[in-house]
Structure 1
Amino acid sequence: MTHRFKSLPLLALTAALAACGAPSPLPAPTAADGPAPSGITAQSVTPAPGSFVMLKALYFGSTSTRVRDVAVQPDGKFIVVGEGRDSGEDSYFGFIARLLPDGSLDPSFAKTGWRRLRKLWEDASCAICFPEYTLPNSKTPVTVTGVVIQGSRVLVSASARKEVDATFSHTIETRQQMVQAFRLSDGALDTSWNGTGVTQTTMGNAEVLSEANDVAVTGDRVFTGGYVNSSPMRPTIATFTNAGQLDKTFSGDGAHYLVLPDAEGGASASAVTVINTRPVVAGWVKHNNAQRMFLVRYKEDGTLDPSFGGGDGIVRPSYGLGDTVARAVQYNAAAGRIGVVGSSADPAGLVRFAVAKLLPDGSMDPAFGVGGKVTTAIGSGHSGANAVVMQPNGKLLAAGYTTSPDGKTDAAVVRYTANGSLDATFGSGGRSVVGQNDGHHELIRGMATLPNGKIVVVGDSGMYGLVGLLQP
């Protein structure tokens, strides 16, 4: 059965509404087979900063789609990754697609503009594996987490379920970290990556869950940040050479567990970025039943860099007593700043955007907010940031979701000035919110900047994936 890409054209919006008011509406979609529309709805006026100049709902397979992340090419085309699902299946497959600047599929990529990620049982190559693995031939849930461009190829981080034979009659389900590489020229698997285009890495023993949450690159290395669900959960960073092999000059084996003090409740690496040749990992650690944001930087040999933030090399932005997590981090060399975003609960339990800016040495930016930190409520419900863009002028974009009074989530983007105040020139009072009034949930999972300055956002809109362009 052939499952075609389905694109649902949506209204181009020219004004963003205030967070405290009704969000910009998404028209009710009507499914239609065939290629994506060839252009964007024409604008009669110059869109205001923070307005959506293009919105599209799309899906791959025949039912649900989730778009997880986006990476931009120098020519303005962009790569999106996520999961799709076929009718009658109870699990998702991973996909990668290349879109033209108008949001339509690029047929020069993988012949149709998109392709499925390779399934684990199609290739048993492992960086660290155990002989008792069996490779199931169906129902293998895949979670795609990140995408990054490195030269002439694109790398996708993900995790997938595997099964371990515990006895002859019992199997244990586990998850294994995975990176797949594709050629930008045509979308084919890049077999210079581990000989197959796929690496699979299990951290810990054969019976634990281990997921890669993000991926970043330098010229000669690839880093993934994630976790292993040991007791307690621990953050991980895996480092690969450009050939797709674990780089054993990093921490001795290339697969490193970060042991954090006061982490009796577990910890996870949510995101990774790079400053020059050194990876910076952001995430959360749980202590005294509360989650806390953290950042660390590694030296080239895989040891913690004590010059980052001083002291033990672990930076802990403090937002009070409520749960606080980091979900995205980005370093912008032109701005000379690290931006990190996530969520933080206030004393009343309301979850807000949590945003921090740091200098490259790990110190908090004293010019941003209070001590380098701000929190932002969007409307009266919970909200959280999943994606960040540090702009060269020092402004920072955070994107994620806000909860409306009816309990559904709407996609939200906030822009801050270099000093941490809401940028009044963006959207309505610094906020741009978009959603439907039909009970569907919208949220943004990934964000990047196009060469023309526009901001591309990706995420979910009900059962569809969401791709949009924001006027900067």
Structure 2
Amino acid sequence: MDTDNSKTENVASPRAGELDPEFNNGEIIILAGTDATDVAIGPGNKLYIVGGTARDDSSQYIITALNPDGSADESFNNGVPVTNSFMPDSTSLAEQVYVLPDEKILVLGKVIISPNLRSNFALARYLPNGMLDLSFGVNGHSVPLHEDFNNLDMDSYDFAADSPAAKYLEPGKTSLVLHEGRTYISGFTTREGKGLTLLMCLDDSGNLVQDFGNKGGSIIEHPKPYPNMHHVNARSMLVTDRHIYLGGFIQFYRRNHMAWVRVHLNGQLDGSFGAGGFVFNFSDKGRGAFNSIALTNNRTLVGVGHGNTAATRRTSHGMLASLDMEGQADPNFNYGEPILSIMNNSSAWHDCVVQQDGRIVTCGSSRENPGETKKILIVGRYQPDGTFDASFGKNHGWTEYPMKNEMLLSALTVQRDHAIVVVGRFIQSPRLVPFALRLKG
């Protein structure tokens, strides 16, 4: 609901940023599995949420379909979440979901392939009824293998352990974009201690596009003009009619600095962008990392993540920055400077979406007190110029929702009526609990 219209409603009506009573009676939905890594909106405001089912090598990917009110969508696999593996006897995790114009559901994730336990990009495509689309890849699945990636293992399959016997897969480091009938994928890996970005381009059938990079795959490296620098860790991607943009960070003398990179649509680094294809700032104002990037209505780029300055020392806060498509700072966004939003003791934005009216919606996590490990969910909304939208949330631009224990990664999408759907997971020891909620917009 647009906030301008909400001012005329009954005072008892929820304001923007409050839980939507029309979605699961205004309560958080606990989902099946252990992860909820992404959400997409389909026809009729149906929701498709993806993730994983376990914290160990028995994990499968999972797809949950919900009606606009939060109930199970009976037309999708009879209302039961779909669980499957990208390959037989493999460890699988879904990280992103995309609803295609023909209403099919495309899922991007990663698969660990035995016996060398190397992780690869993996995709699946489903029909609106929850059945695999057998015309895609091999019987609905595509695991694109490329000769240039043979000795590389995607770091987005890092393992994190909360006990010697229980491990879970770390999600949130791949990106999927569809443009002009092609599927673009990005991810991160290391080789000899140096970071690399992996790009792939697939056609509508799930096959590598031969005129992209080296027969469908491309490795993007920094030309290394500085010592002790690692390549950009590309955590998010967007594709325009002319270029591929990636956002993440460059590590320089053990400090992360927010960074952008531009690639031609043929998979080659665009050396005319910034310094040899990269835009970054090694000054105090450039510290931080982008976790998500988006294209604004003014055709500028906006990135969200976390950052710090000498004044905040080692404490990071939710960060936004914007530049034009040629790599110059956007003077209409905080006068061309990055924004650090001080929310509680520390904070970080995980994801962002630009609404039709140009406002920027974000979700992430924060800590209330110094030294504690517990994180809480935060959701914010900014005006196109980077100032907080004071009509949103309990804190004049942002709001918070405590979870049972520690809040982990989150992702969001925005409906046409500006309602905000957030998914993620939190720890309710010893379990990982995936969730979904909807806020009034």
* TM-score range relative to shorter protein: 0.7 to 0.9
Aligned to 1:396: 360
- Cα deviations by residue, 1:290-334 (Å, 9 ceiling, x for unpaired): 222222233222223456x555332225672785211111224x4
1:201 lines up with 2:167 in the alignment: no
Measured in 2, the distance between the counterparts of 1:218 and 1:277 equals: 11
Aligned to 1:144: 94
Gaps of 5+ in 1: 1-42, 122-136, 165-171
1:242 lines up with 2:204 in the alignment: yes
Measured in 2, the distance between the counterparts of 1:55 and 1:305 equals: 47
Measured in 2, the distance between the counterparts of 1:162 and 1:395 equals: 42
Aligned to 2:183: 222
Measured in 1, the distance between the counterparts of 2:96 and 2:253 equals: 31
Aligned to 1:19: none
Aligned to 1:471: 440
Aligned to 1:98: 65
1:159 lines up with 2:110 in the alignment: yes
- Cα deviations by residue, 1:102-127 (Å, 9 ceiling, x for unpaired): 11211111222420133412xxxxxx
Measured on the aligned residues, the alpha-carbon RMSD in Å equals 2.5
Give 1:101 deviation, angstroms: 1.1
Measured in 1, the distance between the counterparts of 2:149 and 2:207 equals: 20
Aligned to 1:273: 238
- Partner secondary structure for residue 207 of structure 2: coil
Q: 2:276 aligns with which of 312, 316, 323?
A: 312
Contact 1:79 1:96 in 2 (8 A): yes
Counting aligned pairs with the same residue, the percent is 21
**What is the TM-score normalised by the length of structure 1?**
0.77
- Cα deviations by residue, 1:83-139 (Å, 9 ceiling, x for unpaired): 1239xx664321112111111211111222420133412xxxxxxxxxxxxxxx3xx
Contact 2:120 2:153 in 1 (8 A): yes
Q: 1:294 aligns with which of 259, 268, 292?
A: 259
- Partner secondary structure for residue 233 of structure 1: strand
Measured in 2, the distance between the counterparts of 1:396 and 1:317 equals: 23
Aligned to 1:255: 217
Aligned to 2:131: 188
Q: 1:364 aligns with which of 321, 329, 332?
A: 329
Query: Are the structure 2 counterparts of residues 362 and 389 from structure 1 closer, same or farther at C-alpha, using a change threshold of 3 Å?
Result: same
Gaps of 5+ in 2: 1-9, 21-25, 157-172
Contact 2:246 2:260 in 1 (8 A): yes
Contact 2:86 2:142 in 1 (8 A): no
Q: Aligned AA for 1:155?
A: L
Give 1:57 deviation, angstroms: 3.2
How many aligned residue pairs are there?
A: 395
Give 1:44 deviation, angstroms: 8.2
Give 1:76 deviation, angstroms: 0.8
- Partner secondary structure for residue 354 of structure 1: strand
Deviates further, 231-240 or 283-292: 283-292
Measured in 2, the distance between the counterparts of 1:298 and 1:449 equals: 28
Contact 2:86 2:143 in 1 (8 A): no
- Cα deviations by residue, 1:132-188 (Å, 9 ceiling, x for unpaired): xxxxx3xx4433221122222222111121224xxxxxxx322111111112x2121
Query: Are the structure 2 counterparts of residues 49 and 444 from structure 1 closer, same or farther at C-alpha, using a change threshold of 3 Å?
Result: farther
**What is the TM-score normalised by the length of structure 2?**
0.82
Q: 1:76 aligns with which of 31, 35, 45?
A: 45
Contact 2:285 2:338 in 1 (8 A): no
Give 1:413 deviation, angstroms: 1.1
Q: Which has the higher helix share?
A: 2
Deviates further, 153-162 or 43-52: 43-52
Q: Aligned AA for 1:431?
A: W
Q: 1:120 aligns with which of 87, 95, 98?
A: 87
